[in-house]
């Protein structure tokens, strides 16, 4: 039985994606550890955004970044279960970013450039999910 070889770029891309998700985890912990004093120091419009974030959106944030990180570790280990972690991450990212963009005043507060990062996050989550799915189909994730 011949061993299936990975594309040369696989470990580099997945390692960068893991770093991306670890930065997301850092951002998550920064956000949940904001004190009332930290929030009070923000401009009023940003205070409203922070104070009105529903719990489910924060949970989706956690599922997105932790699911993405676990999925990337699974990809580095060449494990098929990474696809489920990355699917959970993708669904959570879509839920969180949809809320952020379409059900808050974030665009009014920060302007149209606000669309860039949420769309990038969704695209990265989707591409990681596709990578895991393709890896299973091509046999280099087991």
C-beta of residue 119 within 8 angstroms of C-beta of residue 107? no
pLDDT in tens, the chain (142 residues): 467 788 999 999 999 999 999 999 999 999 999 999 999 999 999 999 999 999 999 999 999 999 999 999 999 999 999 999 999 999 999 999 999 999 999 999 999 999 999 999 999 999 999 999 999 999 999 9
CA-based nearest residue to 68, from 87, 89, 97, 94: 89
Tell me which DSSP letter residue 44 carries.
Answer: H
User: What pLDDT score was predicted for residue 3?
Assistant: 75
Report the sign of the C-alpha dihedral through residues 112, 49, 64, 11, in that order: positive
pLDDT score recorded for residue 5: 84
């Amino acid at each position: 039985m011949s061993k299936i070889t990975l594309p040369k770029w696989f470990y580099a891309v997945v390692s960068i994606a893991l770093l991306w998700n670890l930065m997301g985890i850092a951002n998550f912990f920064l956000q949940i550890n904001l004190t009332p004093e930290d929030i009070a120091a923000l401009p009023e419009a940003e205070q409203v955004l922070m104070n009105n974030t529903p719990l489910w959106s924060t949970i989706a944030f956690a599922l997105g970044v932790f699911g993405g990180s676990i999925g990337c570790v699974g990809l580095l280990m060449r494990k098929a279960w990474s696809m489920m972690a990355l699917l959970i991450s993708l669904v959570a990212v879509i839920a969180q970013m949809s809320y952020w963009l379409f059900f808050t005043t974030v665009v009014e507060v920060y302007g149209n450039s606000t669309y860039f990062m949420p769309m990038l996050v969704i695209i990265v989550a989707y591409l990681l999910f596709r990578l895991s799915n393709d890896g299973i189909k091509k046999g280099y994730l087991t």
